[in-house]
A and B are shown apart, each in its own frame.
Chain A
Amino acid sequence: MNAVAEPLLHPQSIDDVVQCVRDHTRLRVVGSSSKSAMTNAGSGASKCTLTGLSGIVDHDPAEFLITALAGTRVSEMQAALTAHGQYLPFDPPFASLGATIGGTVAAGLSGAGRMRFGGLRDFIVGIKIVDGLGNLVTGGGRVVKNAAGYDLPKLMIGSAGGLGAIVEVTLKVFPKPTHQKTVCVKVKTFASAVKIQSQLSRSPIDLAAIDLTPDGTLWLRIEGEEAALESTTERIRKLIAADSEQPSLITTADPEVAWRPLADGSFAATNDRLVRAPLTPSALLDINASLEELCVQRRYSVAGNLVWIAWPGARPIQQLDGCLRHHNIGATVLMGEVPRCQIGVRPNASMMKRVKMALDPDGRFVDCL
């Protein structure tokens, strides 16, 4: 793309964003560009960077709600919440890379820790966007429960900048667990690990995260009061001892080793494309077999509801695209160089078109999908 010819816009206020939208016929809205694949502007589009639209607008700790401008860094919100013993239970990734809350919503990202209480869609309660007509539109509110009007906050999740410029987000937050511990379970075969994963996810044992690597290692995060961590570990041990065909080795793991690769994207090497694909746990074994054939690095998260793939920069992305299509899966490339971020199956095309026509009838917003 001809980056030089594209105007760069840096609005500092919501009013500025409104003006940008009204003044430009094609806009690509980005945050801090922490997800490199998603921030390339389309041809002829003006790049509108929202990092100047930053700051926590409201955080009343007693209400367990936080409202921030879209360009606010997730890390800043986390710090403010931690000071009051609170956290974002959907565990947004890439905070250490400077990810903004607006970008997190636009990319629709939750982290491994979304296992216990739910993902971004379960915690977003309010949103402000500037739509394609240049109007400031509010959806949801600043209360934890709300059934008034259409759920625009949810609609913006994963909208990738194509439906409007997200300018403000309100999230529900929870009390932060006082302690956490990571347990690593090495299972002899991948298939047995998948079986144990399924049993764990159906058991009443409270697990904050259940990830699985292709070597048959389960990574489990336990959170809560200190006393509860030990007894929970013991229950995991019992469940595995009772149900696995082969003995497994259970050890305490360094949380940095366990969770950092996904939390900061270091799971993918510099030139890799980092790909995120939702899947169903029952499809996991089949997909894993295909990915194994492709010799690609991968990691399963949220008890088999998500796979992260590091696709080498040197290999054509079409190969992965074909594999995902074969399994009827859609995916987004978050990092690395690609012509389009969306690969695999594109779901809901007809309804997507309708929503686009409604919120951005003139096609001002260029999404990265």
Chain B
Amino acid sequence: MVDPLIELRERFGDRLCTSGAAMTAFQSDGVTALSARPRAIVIAIDEDDVVFAIRWCFRNDIPWVARGSGTSLSGGSVPIADGLVIAMNRMNRVLRIDTDNRTAVVEPGLITGRLVKAAAGVGLHYAPDPSSLQVCSIGGNLAFNAGGAHCLKYGMTSNHILGARVVLADGEIVTIGSESLEGEGPDLMGLFCGSEGTMGVATQITVRLVPPPETYFCVLAGYATVEEAGNAVATIIAAGLLPGAMEIMDAIAMKAAHEAVGAEYPQGCAAVLIVELDGSVESVNADKPRLEELFRQSGAVSVEVAKDAETRYAIWTGRKSVFSAVGRISPDFIVQDGVVPRGKLGFALRRIGDISARTGIVIANVFHAGDGNLHPLIMYDGRVEGALHRAEVVAAEIVRMCIELGGSITGEHGVGLEKREFLDEMYDEASIDAMRRLRESMDPKTLANRGKMFPTGEGEPVGLYGLHPLEKAGVISRE
């Protein structure tokens, strides 16, 4: 039998990688506990490459994953063991910015932060701002419907993607969506966004741009307890204010951010709430006094207004540094991103505190409070026998609490590899069956990112429950 890789080698030459150090870089993603060794990696430089690779996979029944920056926080871009990785990061051009239509057409490997910069260059703004903005790619944002701090007012990535050229898993190229804000027929672009790479891969993406907010009013308020901060969010929302962002950091997160980037926080507070109003001067000015009054009512012990752009930047630097900062105080951590109704935030935070106290596992909380989108950082030391497992049990308990409270297992990271065992706790069998049929209509051989999102029945289970036989056999591993 002819080795199918020969065909790939002929096309990709030194852009095909099957061994060596380069392979290691692609074995894992933002969830470092999960990794698998692919058969090969190809680096695509244009759509023809992508089509070639996908058709090759289809002919040879080889599962594949398209990968941008590999920053997924759900294990969504972890390779499929013995599958192909299609690296998209060299397809990273801004193809066109259309100021009249307020759109940009870009390639999927483009770093999201560069898109933001390119838009700013023509006086426009790309609104989604995942915390990994400086490194993540727009293609990955699309695939996992990435969120960020400003979803409350502006929505998630899918609200900002208007159209795409997509190579489906059987090799067909389709154009979905359009360049208009309004659409015709079923919203196929909406379906494709957040499909976690299980239908195909986008090779060209049209995003919508908005006028940049004219002004900001950013406030950092301290609270005596995390629960009070959570309740303050519900109060502000219920009062009818619509801030651009509302974020909570607890004491551990503050400490980590302070040590990492020197961020300053009020003394004696168990939590801070960052609220940012944005928009036109008129609307922000109208909302300012109402917000200040609500802080008073909600029992804030300190209220600090960012007086200038620099202070605002410092507040956000502190907030966005937390994930990496926690890395300094704990060798490893699991981050969950479940969502609860905003009225239940205080309750959820207390429960997380109880779980932490009961298990002795340290949990930091830093999250998009305005959306009810939690981010407990569950700390563990991977070198200690059983520590990962114990952390995973805690993570599972928190995910289940979100479902129980009427929320979601994921607000913005996607289900990926990490939370797939929970999808069928959130949706019933008929709903998952319909999703499977949709997937198979685009990917009849279930090759595209096999093993992600769907609970069972495809791919190798790398679950949250101890070692899988393939792990024991050394075929896949968590490092």
Binding site for B on A (CB under 8 A): 60-64, 85-86, 108, 110, 114, 117-119, 121-122, 131, 135-139, 141-160, 162-163, 174-176, 198, 201-206, 224-225, 227-228, 231-232, 277-282, 302, 305-306, 330-332, 342, 346-348, 350-352, 354-355, 357-359, 361, 369
Contacts and interface: CB of A to CB of B under 8 A. Distances in A.
A147 B211 contact: no
Which residue, of B159, B175, B180, B407, has the highest number of chain A Cβ atoms within 10 A?
Answer: B180
Top-9 shortest CB links A-B:
A154-B190, A175-B240, A204-B214, A228-B282, A278-B182, A354-B441, A225-B286, A135-B430, A358-B441
Contact of B343 (A62, A118, A162, A175): A62
B182 A150 contact: no
A330 B185 contact: yes
B396 interface: no
B123 A108 contact: no
Contacts of A85: 240
Contacts of B180: 278-280, 305-306
A175 B438 contact: no
A350 B144 contact: no
B443 to A, nearest CB: 10
A47 B435 CA distance: 27
A139 B426 CA distance: 10
Which residue, of A148, A154, A202, has the highest number of chain B Cβ atoms within 10 A?
Answer: A148
Nearest to B454: A149
Interface of B: 98-103, 123-124, 144-145, 147, 151-153, 155-156, 158-159, 168, 172, 174-176, 178-191, 193-195, 211-214, 234, 237-238, 240-242, 279-283, 285-286, 339-343, 368, 371-373, 406-415, 419, 423, 426-428, 430-435, 437-442, 453
A121 B282 contact: no
A281 B101 contact: yes
A162 B188 CA distance: 14
Given A142-B341, A204-B279, A351-B188, 7 more contacts: A63-B343, A144-B152, A149-B435, A227-B282, A281-B100, A302-B181, A306-B181
A150 B428 contact: no
B240 A148 contact: no
Contacts of A151: 145, 158, 190-191, 193-195
Contact of B101 (A60, A280, A361): A280
Contacts of A352: 185-186, 188
11 contacts: A62-B237, A85-B240, A141-B408, A155-B186, A155-B190, A156-B187, A158-B185, A198-B99, A203-B211, A204-B280, A228-B283
A62 B237 CA distance: 7
Contacts of A142: 341, 406
B408 A118 contact: no
Given A63-B343, A141-B408, A155-B187, A147 B414 contact: yes
A157 B238 contact: no
A369 B242 CA distance: 38
A110 B183 CA distance: 10
B158 A347 contact: no
Given A143-B341, A147-B408, A108 B183 contact: yes
A202 B286 contact: no
A62 B182 contact: no
B344 to A, nearest CB: 9
A154 B158 contact: yes
Which residue, of B101, B286, B342, has the highest number of chain A Cβ atoms within 10 A?
Answer: B101
Contacts of A330: 184-185
Given A145-B339, A146-B411, A157-B187, A121 B159 contact: yes
